[in-house]
Every structure is written in structure tokens, then in C-alpha cells.
Structure 1
């Protein structure tokens, strides 16, 4: 890793994931639900803080449900795709982080296809922050 901070690198990874998956917003929290970082399609929008807060609340609610899911593999990755009237949410949980991806419009129908990309990027973020665990 060059001289940029871990948080800047994590934000760049989330930005890449957002573009690749077609998400409009991504929020990353610790497993306790504390916000780490977020990226948004429309950074200057007045709704960014409200969207981030809503996704953090959703993560806190869904994360405990994800913790109850049985795990078939050794990597502890669990996910849930939620359809709403406004779009879709993909909530992913790993060992130390939970991430919410918000999809709007036509992209909401394809939110489930982003699961493997989300898993890969969440693994990279886990590796990035491994010095803290």
C-alpha cells in the first residue's frame, strides 16, 4: 500500500464496487454498526446524509438476522437482498464488517447479481483493516 490512508483506500474500493455493481449508494459499518465510510452516486445531494443514516439503521436491523443464518463455507460471508418500492438493498456481512448497497430504478432488478462482487470487495476491505483485528 502506498502512502494513502487505509480509509482512503477503503473508500476507493467502495467507489470501484459502486461503479461495477451499479449501486447508487454504499455504506460500510463495523459489525457493531458503527459507520466506517460511505460512497454516493450524487455526493453533493442534500439527501446523502439521510441516505447514509437510513442505510446504517437498516444494517443494524438486518445484521442480527444475518448473524443467525447458517454458514456453509468457512469465510463467514452472509447476505440478504431486500426489494422495496424505491429499489433494492443488498446487505452483506463478513467477519468484521457489514455493508449495504442501495440500487435504484432498473438496476434494482439486478441487485442480486452484485453479490459476488460485493463479497470480493468486502474480502479486500477485511484484508486492508486486518491490522486492527
Structure 2
């Protein structure tokens, strides 16, 4: 699953609007999107996920990849300028998000970790 999701992320990142097209593809019955879903379903079934959970797991994974790439493609090239005063205010208001205990990860590392969390969840369906 992680390998397929990573390959999909790289593929749609190469095309401006690729994530948007993938998000819209179920409504158009795109054969490319259907083929992708079929592969994901097969992988999940082969991994032993109960058939009743496969469609939700595959849809969750595709939604995650699509959303992640949409966020990546919409990031500004440079973070907005922040004064020391504003930064202190943000740290006080959002201590968990802005604090030193929150790791600063690259997009690649964030994506890898998020896939691990999803796949672990798929392995223990409710």
C-alpha cells in the first residue's frame, strides 16, 4: 500500500492540477482511476484485510494522497514573514502546534509517517 501510495503521490505531483483531477475522477468513471482503485483493492485483499473493509480503506488512502498533494501544490514558495512579536503570540495561542515538542518534518517524511499510521490502522480494522 505504501509503495503504491508513494508512487501515486509522485505521479500526481508532476502535473499541476493532478490531485484535483484524481479527486474528480470517480464522478467521470475514469478508467485510469478505476484501474488504480482495482489495484489498491487487490493489494488490500491480498494483505488479508476483510473484504468488507477494503473499499473504505482504499478510498481513505486515495483521499489522503489526494489531499496531501493538494496541500503540497498550494504551499507558498516562501513562508509569510512573521515578526518576533507575532511569533511569540502564535506560540502562546497555539503551544502544541508551535512549540518545540512538535517535530518539523519534511513533506516526504510527513507523508511516509502518515502512510505508516494509515496502514497500521488498516491492519487492525474495527
TM category, shorter: 0.3 to 0.5
TM-score (norm 2): 0.34
**Which structure carries more helix by proportion?**
2
Higher relative contact order (CA 8 A, sep 6+): 2
**Greater strand fraction, Structure 1 or Structure 2:** 1
Larger Rg: 2
For normalisation by structure 1, the TM-score amounts to: 0.32
